[in-house]
Amino acid sequence: MGFQFKYSVVWESVPILLVGVKLTLLLTFFGLFFGFFLGTAAGLGKTSKSRILNKIAGFYIESIRGTPLMVQVMFIYFGLPMALNTRIPPLVAGAVSIALNSGAYIAEIVRGAIQSIDKGQTEAGRSIGLTRFQALLYVIWPQAFKRMIPPWGNQFIISLKDTSLLVVIGVGELTRTGQEIIAVNFRAFEVWTSVALIYLVMTLSISKILIYT
């Protein structure tokens, strides 16, 4: 007997998977929201004249970019609580991991965008008497911000997919939900196809929105 694709499995799975989608989106939004602030701070630190800020930002960015997200998730959920003698809810650990991880990449986006603005802009700003901070705020940032939007969208898509790694700490997001359904009905092909298509719908939507910004 050949393999038979059962559409009924898809129709039965999708409503359950959508519950996982909710969590996937929640993790992505929260992760990126805090990642944005973290990344902006680290990105500014990297462009700052202060050596200390520079070093701190550099250490953060390099250590996150240089280690796998999976290890970071494990470290935050299993490692840290052990050392601190507490427990962290999986959802919080997941959001923190996404925030820390995306923050490092967003930092590089921010740094790159700021450094891509012509030096003459800062000089013109300073020459009318603006302080360093004012020149950054009124002259550089608005121009750099525009250039950050496309790479941010890219990071949005990456982080959204990265949440699937949180299965390892038992967060019931989309991928985990798929696994759970398969554990019951053993229809791996139909369920993974559904999961993949749902991810695709989400990422393609982001791409589409980005084109219009």
How far is 97 from 107, CA to CA, in rounded Å? 15
- Name the minimum Å distance from CB 124 to another protein: 4
SS (H, E, C) 138-173: HHHHHHHHHHHHHHHHHHHHHHHHHHHHHHHHCCCC
195 exposed, middle or buried (CB, 10 Å; 0-12, 13-18, 19+)?
Answer: buried
**Contact present, 191 and 181 (Cβ < 8 Å):** yes
Judged by CB under 8 A, which of 115, 134, 185, 207 binds another protein? 134
Judged by CB under 8 A, which of 67, 131, 205, 207 binds another protein? 131
Q: Which of 146, 40, 25, 185 is nearest to 95 (CA)?
A: 25
Judged by CB under 8 A, which of 33, 34, 40, 126 binds another protein? 126
How far is 98 from 146, CA to CA, in rounded Å? 24
**Closest CB to another protein among residues 26, 130:** 130
| Tokens matching residue 170 | 């038992």
**Closest CB to another protein among residues 36, 141:** 141
**Closest CB to another protein among residues 115, 134:** 134
How far is 164 from 97, CA to CA, in rounded Å? 12
Q: Which stretch binds another protein (CB under 8 A): 13-21, 49-57, 93-101, 142-150?
A: 142-150
| Tokens matching residue 145 | 């911000």
Judged by CB under 8 A, which of 52, 83, 84, 128 binds another protein? 128
How far is 136 from 49, CA to CA, in rounded Å? 13
3-state secondary structure of 87: coil
Judged by CB under 8 A, which of 32, 96, 139, 165 binds another protein? 139
**Closest CB to another protein among residues 65, 146:** 146
**Closest CB to another protein among residues 49, 208:** 49
Q: How many residues lie near another protein (CB under 8 A)?
A: 18
**Closest CB to another protein among residues 21, 113:** 113
Site for another protein in 65-124 (CB under 8 A): 118, 120-121, 123-124
Residues in contact with another protein by the rule CB under 8 A: 118, 120-121, 123-131, 134, 138-139, 142-143, 146
